[in-house]
Amino acid sequence: MKIVVLMKQVPDTYGERRLDTQTGRVDRGSSEAIVDEISERALEVALRYKDSHKGTHVTVLTMGPASANAALRKGLSMGADAAIHVLDDALVGADMGQTAAVLAAALPRNEYDLVIAGNESTDGRGGAVPAMLAEHLNLPHLSFLDSVELSVGEVSGERVSEYGSLDVRAPLPAVVSITERAAEARFPNFKGIMTAKRKPLSVVSLAELGLGPAEALAGARSVVLCASARPARAAGTKIVDEGNAGEQLAEFLAANRLI
């Protein structure tokens, strides 16, 4: 089984995250860059399968700035076998559509049975890249899986919706996205770090993928019209219980369409 896991480097959620209001992009300088936790969980799903199935090959793939190299190294240290970094200055500010197109071009053609991604990254939170990627590859897509089962020729899992849960399955090759319930990620140990140094990590440019900047980035489908800082939080509503707090609470929730 050959599995490709999409990894993304994002600003640390524990730090303060800022939007550059000039460009509408995430300000990567304002906090520490870390591997998005959901990517680590996606990798964990792949590694668990690899732990119990010898011969499984896991590749981690990222598109990102030079610093994203650290995310791939972490993936290799955790146990992935190979890494691919799509790095090109022309990709700065790429939107989801462009990202999906580039990732599709970077996937080693016919050399994977499954692509695993997180459902959405903690920075952009678009949550559409996996679906777009599946579309580019013309493959079935199972999204938002709380659990993933892999067998020869098939991937299945549980997808929870507002009203219940669905058991979904697709023939391989396929693209799946997972939620944070799918797996608790391991962290790299010393041996992992040392062996990672010997694993292949290839850096490829758009030209090497056979994409000209014009082709890859043609027709940005999303345009940021304006970006502004989040307004400061207003004081909340205080309900003092004088016998009818429950009623007031229900009214508040209903008025704000929360129930």
Which parts of this chain interact with other proteins (CB under 8 A)? 69-70, 73-74, 77, 187-194, 196-197
Pair 249, 239: CB distance under 8 Å: yes
Of 139 and 196, nearer to other proteins (C-beta) is: 196
C-alpha triplet 204, 205, 208: angle, nearest 5°: 80
CB of 119 to other proteins, least distance (A): 22
Phi, psi of 111 (to 5 degrees): -115, 30
Two tokens, residue 220 = 């940005």
Two tokens, residue 116 = 């695993």
CB of 32 to other proteins, least distance (A): 10
CB of 70 to other proteins, least distance (A): 6
CB of 209 to other proteins, least distance (A): 24
Of 65 and 188, nearer to other proteins (C-beta) is: 188
CB of 190 to other proteins, least distance (A): 3
Residue among 173, 174, 176 at smallest CA distance from 157? 176
Give the integer Cα–Cα distance in Å for 91 and 104: 14
Of 90 and 203, nearer to other proteins (C-beta) is: 203
Of 40 and 158, nearer to other proteins (C-beta) is: 40
CB of 67 to other proteins, least distance (A): 10
Give the integer Cα–Cα distance in Å for 143 and 133: 12
Of 72 and 96, nearer to other proteins (C-beta) is: 72
Residue 93 backbone class (left: φ over 0; alpha: ψ -120 to 50; beta: rest)? left
Phi, psi of 208 (to 5 degrees): -70, -25
Residue among 75, 131, 58 at smallest CA distance from 100? 131
Of 58 and 72, nearer to other proteins (C-beta) is: 72
CB of 189 to other proteins, least distance (A): 4
Of 82 and 137, nearer to other proteins (C-beta) is: 82
Pair 157, 174: CB distance under 8 Å: no
Cis, bond preceding 11 (omega within 30 deg of 0): no
